[in-house]
Amino acid sequence: MAKGHRSQIKRERNAQKDTRPSAKLSYARISVTKACFVLDAIRGKDANKALAIVTYNPRYGSEIITKLLKSAIANAENNNGLDADKLYVAECYANKGPTMKRIHPRAQGRAYRIEKRMSHITIVLDEKE
């Protein structure tokens, strides 16, 4: 049993909430491994530099992550009132989402399963001191 009243528990949970600007894309049609190749390239970089890296990256996941990074920067400016030039990518990660299972016909009446993987991609920005 949790201690305290429900409203008190909610108040404590909201006090611990992360206030850094972020953007999250759920159910992206890209596997976690493919998304992580692009995310590893921008982790810890300045927001503008990260945007330049992702824009000219030839991988498929870079298009998705470009939109997500632009959204996170816009959230920082509009919701938190932060300066875009002082932002950097504090965290970026991709978590596993649901997998669509499809059947592909093979020789001699057999069937192979094709797994179309999805991921949940999150980008968290922070301001440099």
Model pLDDT for residues 105-114, shown as the tens digit of each residue: 999 999 999 9
Structural domain total, the chain: 1
Instruction: Note whether residue 4 is domain-resident.
Output: no
Q: State which residues form the domain around 73.
A: 21-127
Give the mean model confidence (pLDDT) for residues 37-53: 95
Instruction: Note whether residue 10 is domain-resident.
Output: no
Which has more confidence, 3 or 83? 83
Instruction: Note whether residue 8 is domain-resident.
Output: no
Residue 4's region, left for phi above 0, alpha for psi from -120 to 50, else beta, is: left
pLDDT at 127: 92
Share of the chain above pLDDT 90, in %: 81
Instruction: Note whether residue 103 is domain-resident.
Output: yes
Q: Does the pLDDT at position 2 exceed 90?
A: no
Q: Where are the alpha helices (DSSP H) in the chain?
A: 6-15, 32-42, 47-55, 61-78
- By DSSP bridging, strand 22-28 and strand 87-105 are unpaired
Q: How many helices (H) and strands (E) does the chain have?
A: 4, 3
- Take residue 55 and report the two structure tokens written for it: 């824009």
pTM of the predicted protein model: 0.84
What one-character DSSP code corresponds to residue 5? Answer: -
